[in-house]
Chain A
Amino acid sequence: MTKIGVLRDIKARKGVAANEIARRAYLFVARNQTLPPQVRYQAQLQLNTFGRYTRPTTVKNRCTESGRGRGIMSEFGLCRFQFRLKALQGQIPGVQKASW
């Protein structure tokens, strides 16, 4: 049973990857101080036309096991509970219960 958030995130990642070059080009024009203001304004308007699934800010790390959106550890791609379950089973290389 997939979570809708996971599906949205996948769509966002695909969209961002497909449109990254165009977005960066428009952004370059819009932020460039040496270009005339009309051109910059047009570029900014074009940027505004992009949908939400093309913006990099829409991309959110999710747990690869459970799809949880919070408590994600980027190094493992897991949420804290899944990380704990796998670490206790020995499925994460090198990770062990700390004691000192």
Chain B
Amino acid sequence: MLAAIKRHTAQPCPPESALDPSGPPTAAAEPQWAAATVHGRSLYLPYQHPRTHSIPVAMIHFRSYFPHLLDQFTHFASHSASALAIPISRPVALPTQRSLWTVLKGPFAHKKKQENFERKVHKRAIKAWDADPQVVERWVKYLENHAMGGVGMRVIKWERAQVGIGKDRLDHVKGQIRIASATNADKVKKLGERIVREELGKEA
């Protein structure tokens, strides 16, 4: 199946003007949209959006006993990420895990007649960069909704917070807690001023 995919010609994205939902619907909107949609897009490899900052945002691991199922689902995942304009890597194959069991063929004795059984776990990984956390969440939810039987998915997400978030959180929590031991005169004064301001604001 993958041999049919033309590796050297990835389809470009449809122009943004054709997909703009704002503004009143014109008579030409529907045919323009249909013309902009690339039918049979999945025959080709997905368009690789260029990374803007190369900041890793998510990594998805896929595992399955059957590599053809993995190929199908990673193809689907790559296309959906491309549709959401998330810069992703190609599906990378991680080392296959192989478990081997050697059991006696018969229920009793005959140690010299044994049989080998194995189970191979094939793995793929797709890494995503630069997208907003909400977009990544959408992508992950979409994949989970259309999950494929026989393919397991593990998602690792990295989100960023502003510098000093720990201190902000701590201050917020401390503000919530009442420390009965010592009241800071400044804090009480500020609180009083705040209350006065709010009350005046309500009256006005």
Contact = CB atoms under 8 A, between A and B. Distances in A.
B65 A97 contact: no
24 contacts: A71-B103, A71-B104, A80-B103, A81-B106, A81-B107, A83-B101, A83-B103, A84-B103, A84-B104, A84-B115, A84-B117, A87-B117, A93-B65, A94-B119, A94-B120, A95-B118, A95-B119, A96-B118, A96-B119, A97-B116, A97-B117, A97-B118, A98-B116, A99-B116
Interface string B102-132: 0111110000000111111100000000000
Contact of A81 (B104, B116, B120): B104
A98 B117 CA distance: 5
B100 interface: yes
Interface string A72-100: 01000000110110010000011111110
A62 to B, nearest CB: 15
Contact of A98 (B65, B106, B118, B121): B118
Contacts, number: 40
Of all A-B residue pairs in the complex, the 5 with the closest CB atoms, nearest first, are: A94-B65, A98-B118, A98-B116, A80-B103, A81-B107
A99 B116 CA distance: 8
Contacts of B107: 81
Contacts of A97: 115-118
A84 B105 CA distance: 7
Contacts of B119: 94-96
A84 B121 CA distance: 20
Contacts of A93: 65
A97 B101 CA distance: 10
A73 B115 CA distance: 15
A26 B63 CA distance: 44
A70 to B, nearest CB: 11
Interface string A7-20: 00000000000000
A57 to B, nearest CB: 27
B117 A81 contact: no
A81 B108 CA distance: 9
A73 B101 contact: yes
Contacts of B116: 97-99
